[in-house]
Amino acid sequence: MVTIVMRYRSVVLLATGVVAGLAAGLLLTGTPAIGQEQAPYQAPRSIYGDGRPDLNGIWQALTTANWNVEAHPSSPGYSDGPAWMLGALVAEPGGLGVVEGGRIPYQPWAFERRNENFRNRLVADVYKREQGDGELKCFMPGPVRATYMPYPFQILQTDKYVNISYQFANSNRIIHLTNHQEPVVDGWMGWSNGRWEGDALVVEVVGLMAELWLDRSGNFLGEGARVTERYTRIGPDHLRYEATIENPKVFTRPWTISLPLYRHIDPRAEIVEFNCVEYAEETMFGRVTRDWTPPTWDPFTQQTIE
């Protein structure tokens, strides 16, 4: 019994000595103690000598927002078509969402439109561009959705512009840090005017196509939407992405999404071509470009062919 007590006391004394040694080390090295505020992260600076943070790199989101930007449970996916035969291969993962406040503040008519979009998400009729998920048709996804699709993208930064190249559909856009202009026509990736606010790159995006969706669940922007993005480097391999969406025709108020982006640290990392146009051609144009035999499931009529 005495031996056990002595061993116990030895352990206590040893642990006490370790803690004391660590505390002394923290004091000598100047490491902040628990609860003490740490200095904010200082990002490396651009090579152009303008004092701006360096955002260059290949980045990617780790989120399920491409399925639904709002919080959502897992589901069997496109089970109302022939995909039921694929089991869990097309199942949709659940996620906590990226919308601040939890829900998109739709006007009543727009909420119904979102639900209608979801019901018609597999429509691939080229003559009904407003129906069906643009991802299905390999349309460029817009700057917001392109950020959190399950594909990487590359930022190339100069002192006059920032170019972002996205892997999906070979999409890209230029953020104009000078020569700010209004768009002449609407486009899938819109027109981007950028500026620096401290260490944050702030981008005003206008001229977006009305048919743009935010995810596979039918959430959408609508005609005349304005997006304000913020890219902030918060660590050696992390960016904070925020996008505030405004459209008084569709939403009751502006709302924001936010999520972290992660830098690819593999020295071999590069953007691999994903030219999905050829993957979607048969779905969209097969019946008008050749003698076409309808499959068991017709994506145009959303019906099973007997």
Cβ–Cβ < 8 Å for 104, 116: no
Listed by start position, the domains of the chain span 1-39, 57-277
- Name the amino acid, one letter, at 30: G
* pTM of the predicted model as reported, rounded to 2 decimal places: 0.81
Token representation of residue 36: 């003490």
pLDDT values of the chain reduced to their tens digit, one per residue, 306 residues: 444 433 333 333 334 444 444 344 434 444 455 556 677 889 999 999 889 999 999 999 999 999 999 999 998 876 566 666 777 888 899 999 999 999 999 999 999 999 999 998 888 776 777 788 999 999 999 999 999 999 999 999 999 999 999 999 999 999 999 989 999 999 999 999 999 999 999 999 999 999 999 999 999 999 999 999 999 999 999 999 999 999 999 999 999 999 999 999 999 999 999 989 888 887 777 666 666 565 566 555 556 655
